[in-house]
Amino acid sequence: MDTWRQVFAINENKFPDDFLFGTATASYQVEGAWNTNGKGENIWDRYTHQYPDKILDKSNGDVACDSYNKLEEDVRLLKNMNVDFYRFSVSWSRILPKGFAYQVNADGIRYYNNLIDLLISNGITPMVTMFHWDTPQNLEYFGGFTNSLIVNWFEEYARILFDNFGDRVKFWITFNEPKQTCAEGYGIGTKAPGYKLFGIADYMCIHNVLKSHARVYHLYNNTYKETQQGKIGITNDAVWSEPKTQSVEDVEAAERGLLFTFGLYTDPIYHYNGDYPQVVKEFVSARSKLEGFSYSRLPKFTPEEITYIKGTYDFFGLNHYTTTLVNNVDPFPIGDPSQIKDARIRTSFSPSWPKTASSWFKVVPWGFTKVLKWIKNRYGDIDIYVTENGYSDHECLNDQERINYYKQYLSALLDAIYDHKVNVKGYAAWSFLDNFEWNDGYVNRFGLYHVNFSDPQRTRTPKASLYYFKNIIKNRKLIKL
């Protein structure tokens, strides 16, 4: 029998009384209005316009779901879902067209004020992400997140958000998935801004993201928290690393892989020691030396910076979709640097795992439980909000595979709560609407609502999964279909 075959009994426990259900989007993926009413250009505007061939269907987010113009309709749909919260991101360049605080776009302030007020008047809590990959293009000219001055620029931006929206926003997320920004944007170059500087610029980016997050956490804690009474955290994405075999080498490689792809971003904030994981520091340093560097390519935090970053959270934001098998690799031949070579791992999938529309993504619900257990074991009893989890398919209204995914993954979440006492406090389904899925364009869909991108009105139609998710919220347990 394949040891990774999915044998799954649905957990019939109820979700805790204080458990929150929501759904999520991101500004570039849904808003459209890319150059409307004072909005500045961001790196995804530039990337999709300059390199359309890098997008599966050569599309872009110029109009996307047109949520900028369909705000009232979208909030009606959210209310119809009966969600407790809606997680959305603010477009930095819609607030600050040049990226810097000297020029504030009044229309951007108006738009997000209207969205926040409308959500609250409909009984929906806004959960606001400050940055979801769309750096103002003007800042990218200066190096974006490879420039240490981004810490100051991000603080300026955050202060404007707190000043204008903080009286009503009680959940703030500084960054969504820094791994994608850093490893894919500056490392392998598959996402905007598209630089291929793996093993160097990606580490610089991580370093500056962590310092930016800490700066904004302390700004909020010292200046705003007493009066605004909100919570602030960061969201990171975890792909569970399962050893391909039970050999000592593969078991160690799986843990090392998780620390390189997840702990690198979470240990400095959540681990009681702070700083990057020790094994990551050792492996990058050793590989750097072999490559002829006189220093580690992974920047070092000063003792003061370690203390400053450690503990900068009110909750743990987690995005999770899938699992990979990991096996150990002997040192790669010397050549151009990369994180994969630093980590000395290779990833794969079991052929028994069900596929999705996305090549990177298989259905492995038990990996969700393992990720949640790992977080508790490594970081203690932190309140965890699952800020993204969902399923990709092609254009489908009777999306039974998505229903099955939600049923199995939410059951795995309940296993973590009831069997392992993990403090999971909320769950956001990704995504509210079919939207622009980055390099996949509009080919692969994640939405609970179908969006017709051929229709200028961007008509929204509920999918079967929308009704299933509504029933979960209503009954506060997984219903059998």
Within-domain flag for 33 = yes
User: pLDDT of 338-348, one tens digit each?
Assistant: 999 999 999 99
479 pLDDT band, cuts 50/70/90, is confident
pLDDT at 480: 67
- 438: which residues sit within 8 A by CB, 6+ positions away? 29, 55, 191
Residue scoring higher pLDDT (267 or 3): 267
Place of tokens 């799954």: 8
Residue 135 has pLDDT above 70, yes or no: yes
19 φ/ψ angles, rounded to the nearest 5 degrees: -75, 135
Token pair of 253, please?
């490689």
The answer to whether residue 376 sits within a structural domain is yes
Q: What is the reported pLDDT for 377?
A: 98
Q: What is the pLDDT of residues 137-182, one digit of tens each?
A: 999 999 999 999 999 999 999 999 999 999 999 999 999 999 999 9
Residues 277-299 have a mean pLDDT of 97
Report the residue count for the chain. Answer: 481
Which amino acid does the sequence have at 314?
Answer: D
Centre a 10 Å sphere on the Cβ of residue 302 and count the other Cβ atoms it contains.
8
When pLDDT is averaged across residues 213-235 and rounded to a whole number, the result is: 98
Is the C-alpha dihedral spanning 256, 4, 394, 23 positive or negative? negative
Q: Is residue 5 part of a domain?
A: no
Which of 340, 364, 354, 415 is closest to 240 using CA atoms?
364
Is 206 inside any structural domain?
Answer: yes
Confidence of residue 8 (pLDDT cuts 50, 70, 90): low
241 upstream amide cis, omega within 30 of 0? no
Average pLDDT over residues 457-469: 98
Quick check: helix, strand or coil at residue 387?
Answer: strand
**Residue closest to 202 by CA, chosen among 186, 225, 224, 181:** 186
Number of structural domains the chain divides into: 1
Query: Percent of the chain at pLDDT above 70?
Result: 98
Containing structural domain, residue 471: 20-475
- The H-assigned helical ranges of 82-149 are 92-95, 106-121, 137-140
Residue at 160 is within a domain: yes
Distance (Å, whole) CA 18 – CA 444: 33
For residue 9, what pLDDT is reported? 85
Residue 294 is encoded by which pair of tokens? 């006189």
Q: Which of 240, 232, 237, 230 lies closest to 213 in space, CA to CA? A: 232
18-27, 88-97, 471-480: the lowest-pLDDT one: 471-480
Cα separation, 354 vs 212, in Å, equals: 39
Q: Is 155 a catalytic residue?
A: no
Position 480 in a domain: no
- Domain presence at residue 39: yes
Q: What's the rounded Cα separation, in Å, for the pair 306 and 102?
A: 31
CATH (domain of 179): 3.20.20.80
Across 96-112, average pLDDT: 98
**Cα–Cα distance, 12 to 328 (Å, whole number):** 38
Given a cut of 70, whether residue 412 has pLDDT beyond it is yes
Q: Of the residues 41, 388, 401, 437, which is catalytic?
A: 388
- Given a contact cutoff of 8 angstroms between Cβ atoms, the answer to whether 422 and 376 are in contact is yes
Give the pLDDT score at 3: 41
Q: Which of 41, 177, 401, 437 is catalytic?
A: 177
For residues 361-369, give the mean pLDDT.
98
361 within domain boundaries:
yes
User: Any catalytic annotation for residue 177?
Assistant: yes
DSSP bridge pairs for 175: 131
6 pLDDT above the threshold of 90? no
Nearest to 238, CA basis, from 351, 374, 363, 132: 374
Element (H, E) at 161: helix 150-165
Average pLDDT of the chain is 96
Residue 241 pLDDT grade (very low, low, confident, very high; cuts 50, 70, 90) = very high
| DSSP category for residue 276 | S
Question: What are 276-285's contacts with CB under 8 Å, separation 24+?
Answer: 276/301, 280/256, 280/342, 280/343, 283/256, 283/342, 283/343, 283/344, 284/203, 284/342
pLDDT band for 95, please (50, 70, 90 cuts). very high
Q: 């009232």: which residue's tokens?
A: 72
pLDDT value at residue 481: 58
Residue 289's CB is within 10 A of a number of other CB atoms, namely: 12
Q: Contacts by 46-50 with C-beta closer than 8 Å and gap 24+?
A: 46/137, 46/140, 46/192, 46/193, 47/191, 47/192, 47/193, 47/194, 48/192
Does residue 19 have a pLDDT over 80? yes
